[in-house]
Structure 1
Amino acid sequence: MERVAKSKIYTKTGDRGATSLYTGERLSKTNPVFDALGNTDELNSSLGLAAAACSEDSQIMNIIFTIQNRLMDIGACIATFQSSEDTDKLLKTRFDPSHISVLENWIDILDAALPKLTNFILPSGGEASSRLHMSRSICRRAERSLAALLERQEIDENVFVYINRLSDLLFVMARTMAYRQGKGEVIYQKQ
């Protein structure tokens, strides 16, 4: 069998339960920072699925792709503790608060075109809407995992605010897709 060069995909450095942050600091994979990174990565992947279901709506697709890029930026921020002495890496991973305003603007634009919500709704409204609702739920989990890091002042507060606002946007995007595709939203009915 022909010998090929070792892939750069696997490094084996995490085989004993530790891995590195962007700054090079090695920590146990049980550290809450890796929960936050994993949840953010899962959110990004779920948005990829949502994008596939929204492929006929260029506005929503462009919003999703922009968010996915910002989530990659957020991953770098999470992997660089604010207490780091590596000022170069802190500057490279600084999260611009203007990204929050962009989300708020999208919320306002999309929500203005929707029928007023007068009841709680169940995650519903067709495949595209339901996938965006799933992303919203994962976003809330990511937010909860970031809260622990925020309390310890290990992440930039703007990252936390962005993720909080993102869940609101994903809710409005889910409603938007249901509305644009003519799919009914299921109203919650208390027994």
Structure 2
Amino acid sequence: MKIYTRTGDGGKTSVIGARVEKDDLRVEAYGTTDELNSFVGQTAAVIAKLPAEEWSDRLEQLTVIQHELFDCGSDLSYASPDPGKLKVSAEMTERLERWIDELEESNPPLEKFILPGGSEPAALLHVCRTVCRRAERRVVSLSREQECPDEVHKYLNRLSDYFFAAARAANVRLKVQDVEYERSAPVFRRRS
């Protein structure tokens, strides 16, 4: 099988059920989700070099997320989404919420904005967070003009929160303090 087809040389590509321009909102949405998946893969590759007994939980979560990002891309690639064929479910978003709650238990209280970074795993997780936010923005743009699976938007919204909590937890695990943005007023309050 050849990897190239030449069918996109004119600036069009196929989504499920249509041919569209390569910069179509639908292609932008699933393309940015694919970009996010690549950054998650890079993050997992860095974490895989750390002691397995301490990091296997995070590595397992990132692997699940990579599969679910493929599900997001699949759902976004339908020109006319068929609810019976969609893969992203509310249960996936609910699992992210449980993971976030578990991560937040180990994180110190947060009062001010923090700078992305600290340790290498945390910095990469912050990159994932920001690319995830961009993917979410692309999905919102798509949903204004075309049919778009609502559950993908919810999943991406929660996923960016997961990356934030996981970045902070990575710093805690590596005994690296988050750096507060020096001109930030206190903006966060712990929820009970």
Deviation at 1:153, TM superposition (A): 4.9
Structure 2 counterpart of 1:66: 64
Where does 1:1-191 land on structure 2 (aligned, <5 Å)?
A: 7-23=1-17, 25-55=18-48, 56=50, 57-81=55-79, 83=80, 87=82, 90-190=83-183
1:71-127 Cα shifts (integer Å, max 9, x gaps): 00110100013x35xx5xx52334221111010010001111111112210001210
Whole-Å Cα distance in 1 between the matches of residues 157 and 146 of structure 2? 17
TM-score by length of 2: 0.88
State the number of aligned residues: 179
In 2, are the aligned partners of 1:107 and 1:172 still within 8 Å (CA)? yes
Q: What is the SS of the residue equivalent to 1:186?
A: coil
Q: Which amino acid aligns with 2:61?
A: I
In 2, are the aligned partners of 1:150 and 1:160 still within 8 Å (CA)? no
Whole-Å Cα distance in 2 between the matches of residues 173 and 145 of structure 1? 23
Q: Which amino acid aligns with 1:65?
A: T
TM-score by length of 1: 0.89
In 2, are the aligned partners of 1:43 and 1:138 still within 8 Å (CA)? yes
Gaps of 5+ in 1: 1-6
Instruction: Please tell me the root mean square deviation across aligned C-alpha atoms, in Å.
Output: 1.5
Gaps of 5+ in 2: 185-192
